[in-house]
Chains A and B, each alone.
Chain A
Amino acid sequence: AQKVTQAQTEISVVEKEDVTLDCVYETRDTTYYLFWYKQPPSGELVFLIRRNSFDEQNEISGRYSWNFQKSTSSFNFTITASQVVDSAVYFCALSEAKAAGNKLTFGGGTRVLVKP
């Protein structure tokens, strides 16, 4: 069975501080996909990034960066120079790589509060 753990339930920072969100996953699959989603107060889940299990190259996109380490089953996410608009709940998710019937297994989420 797949499992995603986000140990941090809430993080509070002051604007312009960096924020790193931890994600640890469990799966028996050799091929899988990892995601980060952002959920603002409005409720919709906003897709941020997808990584497949063979792509351990870390990436920076604007103020966002990701650190995927297969050896430790971790997929951490960092917001650099946080802004008030970054306040939201962030979810890490894991998916099988089947041809059909894929489902996302989500972690419990980390609430990020950025104070001005």
Chain B
Amino acid sequence: ETGVTQSPTHLIKTRGQQVTLRCSSQSGHNTVSWYQQALGQGPQFIFQYYREEENGRGNFPPRFSGLQFPNYSSELNVNALELDDSALYLCASSPAGFLNYGYTFGSGTRLTVV
């Protein structure tokens, strides 16, 4: 079975621009979560999607938004990029019945805002 794949792997954007990051969940997983990991820190929860709807959100402004598609893949959109948005963005998927499994993480997208 394939794991979680994220694209692109690296991205450089200019302050004020918009960016879209993509994630394909592991086969059989219908829940996708996004995390932001600044350099030298632990990942911070952005939001979670379940059956195409937002299902929990962390302390991130509305310019961070997302989508989940019928095939359970997901997008993270960030508008009006700021320098502090530079980070590794991790996508994680899990099957229904989270309580029995840990999340499976992708390798992340490294976003640099200049």
Q: Contact partner of B90 among A45, A52, A97, CB < 8 A?
A: A45
**A residues 1-26 in Cβ contact with B at 8 Å:** 4
A35: Cβ under 8 A from any B Cβ: yes
B107 and A42 contact, CB distance less than 8 A: yes
Within the assembled complex, what's the spacing in Å between the Cα atoms of A105 and B108?
18
Q: Which residue of A lies closest to B43 (CB)?
A: A106
The number of residue pairs between A and B whose CB atoms lie closer than 8 Å in the complex comes to 63
Question: How many Å from the CB of B39 to the closest CB on chain A?
Answer: 11
Q: Contact partner of B45 among A33, A97, A104, CB < 8 A?
A: A104
A43 and B43 contact, CB distance less than 8 A: no
List the interface of chain A (C-beta within 8 A of B): 4, 33, 35, 37, 42-47, 50, 52, 91, 93, 97, 100-109
Contact pattern, B 29-58, Cβ under 8 Å of A = 1, otherwise 0: 000010100001111110010100001101
The residue in B43, B50, B110 that gathers the most chain A C-beta atoms within 10 A of its C-beta is B43
A45 and B43 contact, CB distance less than 8 A: yes
Question: How many Å from the CB of A54 to the closest CB on chain B?
Answer: 12
Q: Assuming the A-B contacts A108-B42, A109-B42, are A100 and B99 also in contact, with contact meaning beta carbons closer than 8 angstroms in the complex?
A: no
B105: Cβ under 8 A from any A Cβ: yes
B76: Cβ under 8 A from any A Cβ: no
Q: Which residue of A lies closest to B100 (CB)?
A: A50
B45 and A103 contact, CB distance less than 8 A: yes
Q: Assuming the A-B contacts A47-B102, A47-B103, A100-B50, are A105 and B45 also in contact, with contact meaning beta carbons closer than 8 angstroms in the complex?
A: yes
What B residues does A103 contact at CB under 8 A?
33, 45, 48, 56, 58
Question: How many Å from the CB of B91 to the closest CB on chain A?
Answer: 10
Question: How many Å from the CB of A70 to the closest CB on chain B?
Answer: 18
Within the assembled complex, what's the spacing in Å between the Cα atoms of A4 and B92?
19
What A residues does B43 contact at CB under 8 A?
45, 91, 104, 106
Within the assembled complex, what's the spacing in Å between the Cα atoms of A65 and B82?
42
Within the assembled complex, what's the spacing in Å between the Cα atoms of A50 and B100?
9
B88 and A104 contact, CB distance less than 8 A: no
Known: A43-B107, A103-B48; 6 extra A-B contacts, CB below 8 A, are: A45-B105, A52-B99, A91-B43, A101-B50, A105-B45, A108-B42
